[in-house]
Structure 1
Amino acid sequence: MTNTIGDLETADVILATGTNTTENHPVISTFIKRAVEKRGAKLVVIDPRKIRLTNFARKWVRQNLGTDVAWINGLMHVIIKEDLYDKAFVSKRTAGFEDLKAMVEKFTPAFVESITGIAADDIVEIARLYAKARAASIVYCMGITQHTTGTDNVKSLANLSMLCGHLGIEGGGVNPLRGQNNVQGACDMGGLPNVFTGYQPVTSEEARKKLEAAWGVTGIPDKPGYTVTEMIPKAIEGTVKALYIVGENPMVSDPDLHHVKHGLEALDFMVVQDIFMTETAQLADVVLPSACFAEKEGTFSNTERRVQRVRKAVEPPGQARDDWRITAAISTAMGFPMGYDSAEQIMAEIAKLTPSYGGITYERIDRVGLHWPCPTPDHPGTPVLHTVQFPIGKGKFHAIDYIPPAEQTDDAYPLYLTTGRIIYHYHTGTMTRKSEGLNERAPENFVEISAEDAGRYGIEDGSMVTIASRRGKIKAKAAVSEKGVAGTVFIPFHFAESAVNELTHAALDPVSKIPEYKVCAVVLEKA
């Protein structure tokens, strides 16, 4: 997030898209609801489903799946045409405006309506509302990123925010809500194939030399590795021989699960390190039991970039160990001793080698966390990014055209499927589906379908249905709901016994390599 969670309450306009905030980020949703109810903020929700957040919206519109670039370009078309953009911000702090202007010229409200299904008048109204705000915040989640055009979607939202000068100010910004706790911290610590900690590129000789000196090694590779979604095909090809999977359950969470299982079974060796015996762990050659969050010391970096202490509350069961202790023991056994004594000692090394974490110590975050960048011990942290300039100097507008989803409906597969979460379960259900109370509230999978489609296919609420795509088939109960939209069904991905990712498309965003979980073609019938 460029801004803080609390900052949402100071926004005049909040544009929420691709986020079912009340169910996926219920704490953050309270800040949005308070901004609306207590401060009169105007909430705009752009989402294909009638999610609960729409009850608080000044304006809610439904877009056709996978058409986000089109409606964002449509907003910018209106803002430029009506001369509503922030000329001073664009002139002083951005580059590439003319290219953007030329690209969005064709995205008239009528043209956008033909692509997205959003009424032309609504495009105009939302554009004016966003552009005229003193401070407007954009909030999004995986409904924006999990597309073959996910990177384009994110860049387009950044274009919109820069165009109106809503970056670098209180109550503004572009604010992605992370999908899991500490996923921000994992990325910060180099949990990506092309960077070291603090997003220092592996291609940077300066960064490699610094780390080599600190660790007493030579020859750190300068070539980026594979993303998760690239590893499975490489395993099938035989290029990847072994995988070490920590705290991840790809046998439920990855797309096209038949393909995933084929890839994992093709490996020579697989290790899974987790707190429970997951569906993926059941395929492993070795399973290493690890401690959960309440059983260890360390830090989390949350979605607003705040680094916070985590303190041990209980002892881990059985042979379970801290993840860092397992990693250190394996490294030592392989010939590179890691002689750490504590998580605090590791944090000190992180601060030493990571510019954006340079001033973060256990002492400084003992009670209240700090937002990175925090480069020095006397730095107060950075709650709001880009207040003076962008890291590259001037922010770059990207002229982006609309590209349709990778898979379209046809006579054989006439419905679109989109996936997501529900409030009672979390991710692949590794923890939540072992909770009696949560299972009582949400015991099994379901297919959310509109009343119109239910009538068309002769399906009754609560009846069993079969859903098939070009990749697989599952069964689940029908849930006829006003949340649904005609032509599209929704299925959560928590339930391994009828895993929706048997159906989803493995087509990837060419930059981020994220799969297109949010759009695929299916056929539905009575079971």
Structure 2
Amino acid sequence: DLFMTPTAQLADVVLPAQAVAERNGSYTSIERRVQAFDAAVPAPPNTREDWRIIAAIAAKLGADWAFSAAGDVMLEINSAVPLYAHSSFENLLSPISLERKSSHYIYSGTSFTANAREGVQWATLAEQPDSAFDLKFMPPEKEPPQGDLTLVAPRVLYDGGTLIGEAEIIAAHIHQPAAALSRYDAKRLNLNDGDEATFTVNGVSLTLPVRVNRLTPRGVVLIPRNLKGFSAEKLLDGQGHVAVVEVEAVKSEPLVSTAPEMRG
């Protein structure tokens, strides 16, 4: 682990791993492109790369893994996973020259050139000529569940988790648990921005502040599933990403003055 999180504090042994910026390696993006990266900052003392920690444990158990660099691990992936057969570090690190569509490229005073590592993109099954797919029609539910809104539980990038929770520079960008409603639904339910509302799914209730958002569609409430407290997870109970919820505004009692009556 990177930090002594509450979970790590319960462990008998904590293995100090290096963060992604402290080591070299590779990653696969959502466009199926495998790219290599280099270490950007020095690693703290007594930390190791993930693969080196696993190899050391394997050696204690009697395994003989001849890994000395991240590229050696990638070579085994190349041989074991067909999609990564051509994604060796040698291919990933091969620079390409960016194709210029105009002459307006000025690099004066910069510390880099116009070369880049494109990496290797593995093909989808649909791009393979011998692929075939069975398409089946799924009829909709005859009677959709009744409720006030449809709960959609996305994930947000700045969730305050272990990877970014210790970074002071982005602390102001970390989302706080809240429920996002459209202006139309907020008005229909007599809710204002900042009000609290109770959301109920199958008898499970949760109270959250309301955020009125003009980008939220009508009939939908957005509650992120990966924020502190895992609000949406409690409502969904592991049943996918969507549910129908009932909404009730939380009423605040007016303050009553108890000051004694002034006599003239």
Q: Do both proteins adopt the same fold according to a TM-score greater than 0.5, normalized to the shorter chain?
A: yes
User: If you compute each CA radius of gyration, which structure gives the higher value, 1 or 2?
Assistant: 2
Map of 1:13 onto structure 2: none
TM value normalised by structure 1: 0.38
Map of 2:53 onto structure 1: 326
Question: Do structure 1's residue 452 and structure 2's residue 179 form an aligned pair?
Answer: no
Equivalents in 1 of 2:163, 2:145: separation in Å? 35
* Pair 1:496–1:299, CA change in 2 (3 A): same
* Pair 1:415–1:359, CA change in 2 (3 A): closer
Equivalents in 2 of 1:288, 1:467: separation in Å? 40
Conserved in 2, the CA contact under 8 Å of 1:409 and 1:522?
Answer: no
Map of 1:420 onto structure 2: 154
Equivalents in 2 of 1:340, 1:471: separation in Å? 53
Q: In the TM superposition, what is the alpha-carbon distance from 1:324 to its structure 2 partner?
A: 0.7
Q: 1:396 aligns with which of 127, 130, 133?
A: 133
Equivalents in 2 of 1:430, 1:475: separation in Å? 25
Equivalents in 2 of 1:357, 1:306: separation in Å? 10
How do 1:376-395 and structure 2 match up within 5 A?
Answer: 389-390=128-129, 393-395=130-132
Equivalents in 2 of 1:473, 1:439: separation in Å? 29
Q: 2:65 aligns with which of 304, 325, 338?
A: 338
How do 1:273-422 and structure 2 match up within 5 A?
Answer: 274-278=1-5, 280-281=7-8, 284=11, 286-366=13-93, 367=95, 368-373=117-122, 389-390=128-129, 393-404=130-141, 409-410=145-146, 413-422=147-156
**How many residues end up aligned between the 2 structures?**
228
Question: Do structure 1's residue 526 and structure 2's residue 249 form an aligned pair?
Answer: yes
Equivalents in 1 of 2:173, 2:72: separation in Å? 43
Q: In the TM superposition, what is the alpha-carbon distance from 1:479 to its structure 2 partner?
A: 0.8
Q: In the TM superposition, what is the alpha-carbon distance from 1:276 to its structure 2 partner?
A: 3.5
Q: In the TM superposition, what is the alpha-carbon distance from 1:398 to its structure 2 partner?
A: 1.0
Point out the structure with the larger helix share. Answer: 1
Percent of aligned positions that are identical: 29
* Pair 1:458–1:394, CA change in 2 (3 A): closer
Conserved in 1, the CA contact under 8 Å of 2:22 and 2:39?
Answer: yes
Which residues of structure 2 form unaligned runs of 5+? 96-116, 251-264
Query: Which amino acid in the other structure matches residue 309 of structure 1?
Result: A
Equivalents in 1 of 2:203, 2:7: separation in Å? 20
* Pair 1:385–1:488, CA change in 2 (3 A): closer
The alignment partner of 2:192 has SS state of: coil
Q: In the TM superposition, what is the alpha-carbon distance from 1:323 to its structure 2 partner?
A: 0.9
Equivalents in 2 of 1:450, 1:302: separation in Å? 32
Equivalents in 2 of 1:351, 1:486: separation in Å? 47
* Pair 1:467–1:436, CA change in 2 (3 A): farther
Query: Which amino acid in the other structure matches residue 419 of structure 1?
Result: A
| Cα deviations by residue, 1:440-461 (Å, 9 ceiling, x for unpaired) | 2455222111223323332211
Conserved in 1, the CA contact under 8 Å of 2:125 and 2:131?
Answer: no
The alignment partner of 2:193 has SS state of: coil
RMSD: 3.1
Map of 2:199 onto structure 1: 467
How do 1:251-262 and structure 2 match up within 5 A?
Answer: none
Equivalents in 2 of 1:454, 1:430: separation in Å? 34
* Pair 1:450–1:306, CA change in 2 (3 A): closer
Query: Which amino acid in the other structure matches residue 396 of structure 1?
Result: F
Q: In the TM superposition, what is the alpha-carbon distance from 1:385 to its structure 2 partner?
A: 6.8
The alignment partner of 2:78 has SS state of: helix
Which residues of structure 1 form unaligned runs of 5+? 1-273, 374-381, 508-515
* Pair 1:323–1:415, CA change in 2 (3 A): same
| Cα deviations by residue, 1:320-378 (Å, 9 ceiling, x for unpaired) | 321111211222222323342111122222223444433333222213244354xxxxx
Question: Do structure 1's residue 484 and structure 2's residue 192 form an aligned pair?
Answer: no
Conserved in 1, the CA contact under 8 Å of 2:92 and 2:120?
Answer: no
Query: Which amino acid in the other structure matches residue 490 of structure 1?
Result: L
The alignment partner of 2:92 has SS state of: coil
